[in-house]
Amino acid sequence: MQSRCICHVTEVDLDEEVGGAMTNDMKMICALRKLGDVDIIYLQKRKCRSMAAALLLFGIQILRSLSNPYMVYFSRGLFPSFILLLLRPFHGKKLVHQALSVPFPSGDVKYFPHNKLESFVRFCLFRFLERIVPPKVDMITVAAEDYSLPLMKADVKKCNIEVVPFYVEDDFFQQPIKSGADESFKFCYVGLFHLYHGLLPLVEAFELFNPPEKSIKLLLVGDGPQRPRVEREVVRRRLRGKIEFAGIVPHSSLPSFLSKTDCFILFSHASAIPIGLLEAAAAGKAIITLRRKEDGALSRYFRHGKEIYMVNTFSASEIAKALDLLYENSELRYNLAQGARKVAERYFSEDATLHQLRRLIDSL
């Protein structure tokens, strides 16, 4: 059988960016390479040093790709999908738009550190593209069934939406589940330091929790625009030594890193099923997260008190109570860890994602 030729186009700078967006892109590319030959086009912001130059190069690369015998373009981002739609009369290829966990990114503009003018321009641009791209592409992939509902309300046909879940590599599943704490008990956050991740309430909650034992730590892994502010808050509350900044841990090292921690914490205002949370579940960690009533995707898979522990608000006192409960109750931690891994094995393995991708490509 002739090999499938696929082009993956993304607005994520795969040379520069870290965190969930880059991780999810690399996972998708690895999965697609098991189904065909894959070329990659990405927005090279770091190489070009200016957004205007990066966008020009991005457009030129897409134009050059039109002569290649691809059967399908997989596009992450409204802008590349819009370009490919404009050029479709010249290439005639199928176009799959990856909406993932954020069908309409205009709703998340308020969480990013832009000034008011830039935020307004971005919001207007996103709203314009959201009206054009989703109804006109051949297929849209979402990370969970819940994210198909707003798309259908925007006149996208149900038959043009495919659920392709994020997946977690086998190395995470191979980590042992801890049945008790070591000499040092470690809470852990892994992700970008963004405004919508609620790291300041977490720091305040850790002060309220105020464990007398010096061996209890909160490890903050990652980087981002909010890190200086979080560091200042840690100093102001005299929590240095109890809260440690571990910097960026290479993704290949995350499984063994997580295996040494006792409880994983991740909060987010933004709609999403965070890949970091799924990786922690696969690694067999007890997880504390935020219940988001307006985004029930996470609750579709993880039940509070069974496979995950959910707080209802960003209240520091409520978070502190959760920290104390998970620290004191080793049986609950172990049961949550076991339950989380079972959910990850059932829904977020590489085999589950490959099955959905293969079905999608065959349908095209």
Residue 1: per-residue pLDDT: 38
Within the chain, residue ranges assigned H as helices are 20-33, 45-48, 51-65, 78-86, 88-91, 116-136, 148-153, 170-173, 199-209, 227-236, 254-259, 275-282, 297-301, 316-328, 330-347, 350-363
The packing angle between helices 51-65 and 78-86, to 10°, is 40
User: Cα–Cα distance between 55 and 156 in angstroms, integer?
Assistant: 28
Average pLDDT over residues 145-155: 92
Residue 265 CA, chain-centre distance (Å), reads 14
What's the pLDDT score for residue 115?
Answer: 76
Query: What average pLDDT is seen over the chain?
Result: 91
Assess contact for 213 and 244: CB atoms under 8 A: no
pTM of the model: 0.91
Mean pLDDT of 64-91: 94
List pLDDT tens digits, range 93-122. Answer: 999 999 998 889 888 777 776 778 888 888
Q: Which DSSP state fits 250?
A: P
- Region 336-355 average pLDDT: 96
pLDDT over threshold 50, residue 141:
yes
Q: Is the pLDDT of residue 346 over 70?
A: yes
pLDDT in tens, 255-279: 999 999 999 999 887 777 889 999 9
Q: Residue 295: which of 91, 149, 155 has the closest Cα? A: 149
Confidence grade of residue 17 (pLDDT, cut at 50, 70, 90)? low
List Cα–Cα distances, 157 to 80, 92, 138, 154, 284, in angstroms: 21, 21, 10, 9, 38
Structural domains in the chain, CATH included, are 5-167+350-363 (3.40.50.2000), 170-347 (3.40.50.2000)
Summarize the confidence of residues 39-66 as an average pLDDT: 92
Write the Ramachandran bin of 321: left for phi over 0, alpha for psi from -120 to 50, otherwise beta: alpha
115 backbone dihedrals φ, ψ, rounded to 5°: -75, 170
Lowest-confidence segment of 136-150, 186-200, 203-217, 238-252 by average pLDDT: 203-217
DSSP symbols for 29-76:
HHHHHTTSEEEEEE--HHHHSSHHHHHHHHHHHHHHHTTS--SEEEEE
